[in-house]
Amino acid sequence: MHTILQLNTSLFGESGQSSRLAADFARTLAASTGRALRVRDLAANSLPHLTAERITAFGTPASERTLDQQRHVAESDALIEELREADVLVLGLPMYNFGVPSTLKAYFDHVARAGVTFRYTAEGPVGLRDVEFVYAEGLALGEQHREQALAAAAARIGQLAA
């Protein structure tokens, strides 16, 4: 079954603009293509940041892992499986303090595993393809700018979902 995985990272939950834009796109695409929609809210249900124990677990052969390492790898494996089942990934991604929320970085740290979700080649890492961005920037620069930015984002979402 074809699936859309929507990842939200807004501290404001479903009322955050990035979550709303992501939801509009994901729902429209799901309705027009018959894909199932799965939503993961990384702000409400954040993953732990990497520790030496966790990252060591990822590199330890399965037969040599402790019970805690097995648990850490199983959590990562479940996230990777959820990601692999999706043929479309939608990120609801606000910017805080000139960067992405740390909850998204923690998610990427759990799913980006060398030899599992990407590999290194002579040309560099391989594994990411077909990426589209929809921007709604400057939402705090006044009502007129906000409305223009949201309208432009909505129009682009409409194009991508068609």
Among 76-80, 96-100, 115-119, the range of highest mean pLDDT: 76-80
Tell the burial category of 119 from Cβ atoms under 10 Å away from its Cβ (0-12, 13-18, 19+). exposed
Please give the angle made by the CA atoms of 67, 78 and 63, to the nearest 5 degrees: 35
pLDDT of residue 139: 87
Q: pLDDT tens, 118-145?
A: 999 999 888 887 788 888 988 889 999 9
Token pair listed for 126: 């391989």
Tell me the domains of the chain and their CATH numbers. 3-161 (3.40.50.360)
pLDDT of residue 1: 65
Q: pLDDT tens, 29-43?
A: 999 999 999 999 999
Please give the angle made by the CA atoms of 157, 93 and 135, to the nearest 5 degrees: 45
- pTM of the prediction? 0.87
**Average pLDDT of the chain, as a whole number:** 93
pLDDT above 80 (res 79): yes
